[in-house]
């Protein structure tokens, strides 16, 4: 009797979770992490993920004795921890060394077309696109490659694009000590193009502007630079 009563509730919950994912809804500014997220070291995480992924493949009916599939659980686990989700761990955050702006460059600096690979936190499938970032120095400058590394760091975790955009912008504001920062991301979500609606033509654009970039002329100059 109780099982019969629970079935509609279970169906409602599944529908709710599907709608959250398909409607691209995020629940927080910070990436949702438990307090004990880093109690296990990377090697232990890899072993445990490999064990569970092997079980998933087994449930799907794949023959894990096949030479091509035998190493897949370990490869996937290593990829998750060491590559595509390495941005979850604060220990992997790039060093944000700044330099004095000795040449007194006081116009905007734009780094455009930064290749971006992330993963949708709703379906764990790729988000692929480009990020464009800019800032106006208040006396300090940052190495160009660090701008790319900041984008990569926050992209290498399960994400929602709006959150990713804000996290990159806020990190740059804190590192550079200025509000004069702009970030635009244009990306394709495989959760849209490879499943569900299967729209392969659309992309998603998000933006975050601060300080002088809230001025329409400054913002338009930035947008002109990124095309």
Which residues are part of a known binding site? Answer: 120, 123, 191
Q: Which of 111, 132, 159, 191 is catalytic?
A: 191
Count of Cβ atoms closer than 10 Å to residue 21 Cβ:
14
Q: Which of the residues 111, 167, 189, 208 is marked catalytic?
A: 189
Catalytic residue flag (residue 191): yes
Residue 48 is among the residues annotated as catalytic for this protein: no
Q: Which of 122, 152, 167, 171 is catalytic?
A: 122
Q: Is 23 a catalytic residue?
A: no
Q: How far apart are CA 84 and CA 88, in angstroms?
A: 9
Annotated binding site for Zn(2+): 120, 123, 191
Question: Is there a catalytic annotation at residue 161?
Answer: yes
Q: Is 123 known to be catalytic?
A: yes
Catalytic residue among 121, 132, 156, 159: 121
Catalytic site residue 152?
A: no
- State the catalytic residue, choosing from 74, 123, 162, 221: 123
Active site residue 189: yes
Residues marked active site are found at 120-123, 161, 189, 191
């Amino acid at each position: 009797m109780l099982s019969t009563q629970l079935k509609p509730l279970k169906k409602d919950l599944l529908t709710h979770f599907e709608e959250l994912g398909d409607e691209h809804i995020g629940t927080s500014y910070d990436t949702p992490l438990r307090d004990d997220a880093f109690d296990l070291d990377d090697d232990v995480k890899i072993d445990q993920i490999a064990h569970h992924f092997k079980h998933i493949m087994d449930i799907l009916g794949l023959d894990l004795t096949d030479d091509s599939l035998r190493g897949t659980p370990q490869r996937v686990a290593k990829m998750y921890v060491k590559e595509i989700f390495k941005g979850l761990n604060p220990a992997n955050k790039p060093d944000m060394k700044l330099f004095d702006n000795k040449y007194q460059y006081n116009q905007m600096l734009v780094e455009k077309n930064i290749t971006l690979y992330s993963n949708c936190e709703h379906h764990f499938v790729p988000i692929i696109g480009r990020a464009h970032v800019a800032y106006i120095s208040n006396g300090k400058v940052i190495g160009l490659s660090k701008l790319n590394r900041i984008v990569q760091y926050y992209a290498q975790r399960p994400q929602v694009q709006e959150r990713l955009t804000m996290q990159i912008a806020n990190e740059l504001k804190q590192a550079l000590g200025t509000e004069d920062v702009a970030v635009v991301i244009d990306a394709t979500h495989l959760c849209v193009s490879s499943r569900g609606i299967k729209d392969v033509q659309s992309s998603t654009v998000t933006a975050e502007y601060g300080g002088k970039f809230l001025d329409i002329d400054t913002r338009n100059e930035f947008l002109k630079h990124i095309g």
